[in-house]
A and B are shown apart, each in its own frame.
Chain A
Amino acid sequence: MVSEAVTAPVARARRPRTGTGYPRYVAAKAGGAVVSLLAVLVTGFFLFRLIPGDPVKTMTGGRPVSAEQLAAYRREFGLDLPLWHQFTDYCGKALTGDLGTSYQFRTPVIDKITEALPNTLLLTGTAFVLYTALGMWLGTRSAWRHGKLGDRLNTGLALTLYSVPSFWLGLLLIIVFAVGLGPIPGLFPTGGMESGGKEGFAYVVDVAHHLVLPVITLVAVEYGQTLLVTRSALLDEMGSDYLTTARAKGLRDDLVRRRHAVPNALLPTVTLVFVNLGRTVAGVILVETVFSWPGLGGLFYQALSVPDLPLVQGLFLVFASAVIVMNTLADLIYPLLDPRVGR
């Protein structure tokens, strides 16, 4: 699974070889992305109609309501129209940025999303930078001393954490470091993004304090993949003749690694980095829920438990778009970074 995620975009990105090929390549990639986005739009609509339950009933929360009131609700949300009509309505509006109105909040879905998006970006962005740096650094060291004890400990730990469910690790961290366990005092807040009532620098510190545990959780479960991919990419380069040349020139071992081996090995890893960024935004649902982080993931959880159809659809669109856009960016950037591919 690891290698698939990485090699596929690389293989595709290697295609443009001629000097004039790049604009055409960009057009093709962008076209492909648009088609994927449209497919997501359609899937999003039909997929969530399959969820059992009457949305209007959930809206009224089981209170006794008259038939007229129900009909009024149905009309308000367009649920009295035939399905195909609802579908064309939804598509038309979605293309203009109108994702409908949330059943439970009674506000436009797009507002809820733009409200929560910065919080998610703060959390995932911080985690992303940290786990990418950590994964690449450890992966490089591991490959350079492959087979040694350090390498085996490194990869062993990474694989273990990689297979740990994020919500479980999150809960564990909350119990130990937020609630406090035995002699360990509760060092960090159990959830949320701020304690409230703080301003300026104190506010920044407060948010950072709240960030610690969810970021640790995300980094722990995500850095392993970067580590393994970096490690195997570097291992592939290790026997290369140009490394012998570099050594023959009299370069120190760490310079041979940094200046010659790593730049060659990291090119394929760049693709993974972008793919990961998209994936992390979409994969943050569990962690945000566990830590009550006011982001898209927490919102998605709330929307699903109602179920709040328009909100679920809107969020699904955002998550899927994040993955598609990042994959496309990876494809577009790779040929610019690798001088062999040309542009």
Chain B
Amino acid sequence: MTLLEVRDLTVTYPNGAAAVRGVDLSLDSGSKLGVAGESGCGKSTLALALLRLLPAGTEVGGEILLDGEDVLKMRWGQVRAVRWAGASIVFQGAMHSLNPVHRVGDQIAEPILLHGGAGAAAARKRTGELLEQVGLPTARARAYPHELSGGQRQRVMIAMALACDPKLVIADEPTTALDVMIQAQILRLIEQLVSEQELGLIMISHDLAVLADTCDRLAVMYAGRVVEEGPARAVYEDALHPYGKALSGAFPRIGDPASRFAPRGLPGDPPDPSDLPSGCTFHPRCPVALDGCEVEDQWLREGAPGRRAACVHVGAAVRSTT
């Protein structure tokens, strides 16, 4: 059953930055979708848009069907009811995403009390269970965020995201700030919890290798659009789009932070969303660009069964992959 269906989503910030420019996504309940792309390509913007968390004055267009209901058409009361109970977010950087002056237990219990209508005692019990699920002793509920390590804070964020049994969890770079050992632990934890509880997961990362390991399907974003989409293994090992190829070549090792802003073998910088290149936005950096790429915009098209990419070469490349 389709849990989330995003159609032609566009986001323009008040300063004119077109951060998301027509994204289509679809996620079945219980399945895992990875969203990859360089810094600034609009991954976090996409995540925030799903729960209408973007700053006031931001223009959002398209449709976001969560369980068949368009989040963008909901009244604020409905939106608040969907937040956390329907879909929750593990935010990028747990250091700043937890409130520094509240105990972590209270922060986990807060949405339980808000949405579940549970009493204080029940919420405390549930908080303890959640902490144990993410591998933290129940007593840590009394700690303040600054008393926890980076990995522990991220575990708290995960416990918090699971608090109201949402159908969808969005994890925005849940491991970026952590060292490699802890990254692997956290990833395994998320994977295990999600498959145990049959949750839908959208995992955002700049690291294709991580996503290929964790997710069923993969979407590669460039300059606010999905430029490639398909089964995770296939996209990682044999990308159709030149940008996807560059990205999968960019990470010889999981979680190498140096490669984050400059995928290997890819010259130039990601484009500025308020001043995008004409035609295919990737053409200034594309090693196989044709003359027409400067003028002709590209949209996702079928490249192989279940695989789509936005590039003139797609279609020609299909035969070699089948």
In the bound complex, do residue A248 and residue B83 qualify as a contact, i.e. CB atoms below 8 Å apart?
Answer: yes
- Shortest Cβ distance from B140 into chain A, in angstroms? 14
Q: Which of B90-98, B195-203, B276-284, B309-317 contacts A (4 or more CB under 8 A)?
A: B90-98
Query: Which of A241, A252, A267, A340 contacts B91 (CB under 8 A)?
Result: A241
In the bound complex, do residue B99 and residue A246 qualify as a contact, i.e. CB atoms below 8 Å apart?
Answer: yes
Cβ proximity bits A240-256 to B, threshold 8 Å, 1 near / 0 not: 11101111111110000
User: Given the interface contacts A249-B111, A249-B114, A339-B144, does A260 sit within 8 Å of B99 by beta carbon?
Assistant: yes
Q: Is A338 an interface residue (CB 8 A)?
A: yes
Q: Is B125 an interface residue (CB 8 A)?
A: no
Contacts of A248 in B (CB 8 A): 51, 53, 83-84, 88-89, 91
In the bound complex, do residue B146 and residue A242 qualify as a contact, i.e. CB atoms below 8 Å apart?
Answer: no
In the bound complex, do residue B101 and residue A247 qualify as a contact, i.e. CB atoms below 8 Å apart?
Answer: no
In the bound complex, do residue A245 and residue B99 qualify as a contact, i.e. CB atoms below 8 Å apart?
Answer: yes
In the bound complex, do residue B85 and residue A244 qualify as a contact, i.e. CB atoms below 8 Å apart?
Answer: no
Quick one: which of B118-150 are within 8 Å of A by CB? 144, 146
Contacts of B110 in A (CB 8 A): 249, 251
Q: Is B81 an interface residue (CB 8 A)?
A: yes
Interface SS of chain A: helix, strand, loop or mixed? helix
User: Given the interface contacts A248-B51, A249-B114, does A264 sit within 8 Å of B97 by beta carbon?
Assistant: no
A248 to B171 alpha-carbon distance, docked (Å): 13
In the bound complex, do residue B101 and residue A339 qualify as a contact, i.e. CB atoms below 8 Å apart?
Answer: yes
Q: Is B73 an interface residue (CB 8 A)?
A: no
User: Given the interface contacts A264-B101, A340-B146, does A244 sit within 8 Å of B80 by beta carbon?
Assistant: no
Q: Is B189 an interface residue (CB 8 A)?
A: no
In the bound complex, do residue A251 and residue B146 qualify as a contact, i.e. CB atoms below 8 Å apart?
Answer: no
User: Given the interface contacts A248-B51, A249-B111, A250-B111, does A242 sit within 8 Å of B83 by beta carbon?
Assistant: no
Quick one: which of A216-262 are within 8 Å of B by CB? 240-242, 244-252, 260
Q: Is A263 an interface residue (CB 8 A)?
A: yes
In the bound complex, do residue A267 and residue B51 qualify as a contact, i.e. CB atoms below 8 Å apart?
Answer: no
- Shortest Cβ distance from A177 into chain B, in angstroms? 43
In the bound complex, do residue B97 and residue A244 qualify as a contact, i.e. CB atoms below 8 Å apart?
Answer: yes
A338 to B146 alpha-carbon distance, docked (Å): 11
Q: Is B100 an interface residue (CB 8 A)?
A: yes
Residues of B that sit less than 8 Å from A by CB? 48, 51, 53, 80-85, 88-89, 91, 93, 96-102, 110-111, 114-115, 144, 146
Extra contacts besides A247-B83, A249-B111 (7): CB < 8 Å:
A242-B96, A242-B98, A244-B91, A247-B53, A249-B114, A263-B101, A267-B101
